[in-house]
Amino acid sequence: MRKYNVLAVNSGVNENQDLESYFEGDEINLTSVESSGQEALRAFEESVPDVVLIDTKENGGTSGYDVANELSQHSDVPILFLRDPKELNNGSEKNKTGFQKNYVQYPLTKKKLKDSIEKAVLDFRKKMKNGSPINEAPLHRNVENHSFFVKIGNKLKRVETNKIEFIEVEEKYCSIFTENRQIHVKIALKDFIKKLPESTFIRVHRNYVINTEYVNTVQLSENIVIVNDRNIPFSRTYKENLINTLNLI
């Protein structure tokens, strides 16, 4: 078994501490153990894990399914739910996440975790190879898409992709910024970027995609890219790709 990077999200501190002991000196690298959804998102961006482990129980009104739903807006990374066998499955999990079968039940063992992680990664890669990730949307990006339509009121309006300067995530919506207007569409960023020409649009942050044709300056020391005089943050996860995409001499 190759070494996998794993991010753990758990609403119970005791269980988090137990998780760390399962991976000590093993083939699995536990990159981070977080206790809240916001912390998990920050850690996810920093570590780029192969698998995310999430406990299903609620903490402060937020369940593991809520965290998974938020993560799924940013990535197709496989998610394993750690669940108490007493927890009733009423089918609502699938509606929220689409990962109904990816459960590991307590009590945990090293072998159970390792086998489940390896299977989740291999299944995910198989689906990617076939062009269908977990959410069944095509992985490839269509480089021929020069425009698309969005619904505004009772009209469908054409948006030219070469007029888009950048895209920002705001909760469940993507905000499209052009020179003269801002358009809100209800779509996950990971799905939206597949509709854009990959030659000019790149992701620089979990909440931002930019059109490189509008890049004026990249401030490496401050992790800021200036897109038509607007400051856009970029994370170290996407820094190398950003630099490689620019026509650097």
Beta carbons within 8 Å of 29's beta carbon, 6+ residues apart: 3, 4, 5, 6, 23
> pLDDT tier at 48 (50, 70, 90 boundaries)?
low
Q: How far apart are CA 167 and CA 179, in angstroms?
A: 12
Tokens at residue 74, please?
């940013």
CATH architecture of 147-245: Beta Barrel (2.40)
pLDDT digits (tens, 9 = 90+) for 153-186: 777 888 888 999 999 988 778 889 988 888 888 8
Read off the tokens for 211.
């059109």
Cβ(54)–Cβ(66) below 8 Å: no
Angle 63-102-9 from CA coordinates, rounded to 5°? 40
CATH class belonging to 4-129: alpha beta
Mean pLDDT of the chain: 75
Question: For residue range 51-81, what is the model confidence (pLDDT) as tens digits?
Answer: 888 887 766 666 777 778 777 766 677 888 8
Task: Indicate the domain borders of the chain.
Answer: 4-129, 147-245
Amino acid at residue number 205: H
| pLDDT tens-place string over residues 128-151 | 555 443 333 333 334 456 888 888
pLDDT, tens digit (0-9, with 9 covering 90-100), for 210-226: 999 999 999 999 999 99
CA distance 239 to 63: 32
CA 23/CA 37 separation, integer angstroms: 22
Per CATH, 4-129 and 147-245 having the same topology is answered: no
**pTM of structure:** 0.50
